């Protein structure tokens, strides 16, 4: 209720200043709902704060990363339109730069993972500009990479605050250290397909390794990456030594 009121106050002020039509408003959040909100109690009352996604804030699962994303820009965006483009809040930087015509002013060592989604806002399907993949990161340091319908979680368990937590999952040898999900058919990440699609797993690991080694996921000169190696759990590195920088 408070959030709804605050958004109303912002819009009210924009209208009073006569700039509401050509002002871009983005309404989103940086992660899924926190368990501190007592998610189970909310669900019992009919409210699903993380929709039907698995997990919540801090996890590597979709419930920790997939969030509402509403945009209002009457001068540029037709009301009621939708887009299934893959985007991230990290893309705000490049998008803002393109909107004001300053994308060429971005230095090579700035916003190395930011990709403009202005084309998606304008309803233009531009394959050459669209984000092809997206790297996720949990609070405990676990990684995942998304490309198309596939999402590869490089850890056993949640990698975060929901069960099985990292301290338990890493000791449980019954849990595979690699998780591969088809988000189109299995959006709740229940059916691990890593054993059935080793080629997909290999391709995603290679892409992630290349991005880390380059210090960026966009075109441009190689950048340093202070967080690598010693990033991945031992069971994951045992399967894919390249992720340790070897």
pLDDT tens profile 58-89: 999 999 999 999 999 999 999 999 999 999 99
pLDDT band at 246 (very low <50, low <70, confident <90, very high): low
Over residues 102-131, the mean pLDDT reads 92
The pLDDT of residue 111: 96
- Cβ atoms of 29 and 63 within 8 Å: the answer is no
- Cβ atoms of 178 and 195 within 8 Å: the answer is no
**Alpha carbons 61 and 163: distance in angstroms, whole number:** 11
Residue 126 has pLDDT above 80, yes or no: no
Residue 229 has pLDDT above 80, yes or no: no
Matching residue, tokens 């990440």: 189
Instruction: Give the burial string for 108-131 (b: 16+ CB within 10 Å, else e).
Output: eeebbbbbbbbbbbeeeeeeeeeb
**Alpha carbons 112 and 144: distance in angstroms, whole number:** 18
The pLDDT of residue 231: 85
Phi, psi angles (nearest 5°) of residue 182: -95, 100
pLDDT digits (tens, 9 = 90+) for 20-63: 999 999 999 999 999 999 999 999 999 999 999 999 999 999 99
Distance between alpha carbon 28 and the CA centroid of its chain, in Å? 12
Nearest CA to 35 out of 8, 65, 14, 64 is that of 64
Where in the chain are the domains? 2-121, 133-244
User: How, if at all, do strands 150-153 and 70-72 pair?
Assistant: unpaired
pTM: 0.94
Q: Could you give the percent of the chain with pLDDT greater than 90?
A: 92
CATH dotted code for 133-244: 3.30.1120.10
């Amino acid at each position: 209720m408070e959030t709804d009121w605050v958004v109303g106050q912002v819009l009210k002020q924009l209208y009073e200043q006569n700039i509401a039509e050509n002002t871009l408003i983005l309404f989103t959040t940086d992660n899924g709902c926190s368990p501190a909100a007592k998610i189970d109690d909310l669900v019992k009352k009919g409210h699903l704060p993380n929709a039907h996604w698995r997990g919540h804030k801090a996890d590597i699962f979709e419930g920790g990363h997939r969030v509402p994303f509403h945009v209002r820009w009457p001068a540029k965006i037709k009301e009621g339109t939708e887009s299934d483009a893959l985007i991230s809040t990290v893309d705000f930087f490049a998008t803002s730069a393109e909107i004001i015509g300053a994308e060429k002013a971005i230095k090579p060592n700035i916003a190395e993972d930011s990709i403009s989604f202005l084309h998606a806002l304008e309803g233009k399907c531009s394959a050459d500009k669209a984000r092809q993949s997206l790297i996720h990161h949990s609070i405990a340091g676990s990684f995942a990479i998304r490309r198309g319908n596939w999402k590869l979680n490089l850890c056993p368990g949640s990698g975060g605050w929901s069960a099985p937590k990292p301290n338990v999952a890493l000791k449980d040898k019954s849990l595979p250290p690699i998780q591969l999900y088809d988000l189109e058919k299995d959006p709740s990440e229940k059916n691990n397909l890593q054993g059935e699609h080793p080629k997909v797993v290999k391709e995603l690991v290679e892409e992630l390794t290349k991005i880390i080694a380059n210090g960026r996921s966009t075109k441009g000169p190689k950048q340093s990456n202070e967080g690598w190696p010693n990033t991945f759990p031992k069971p994951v590195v045992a399967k894919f030594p390249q992720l340790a920088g070897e």
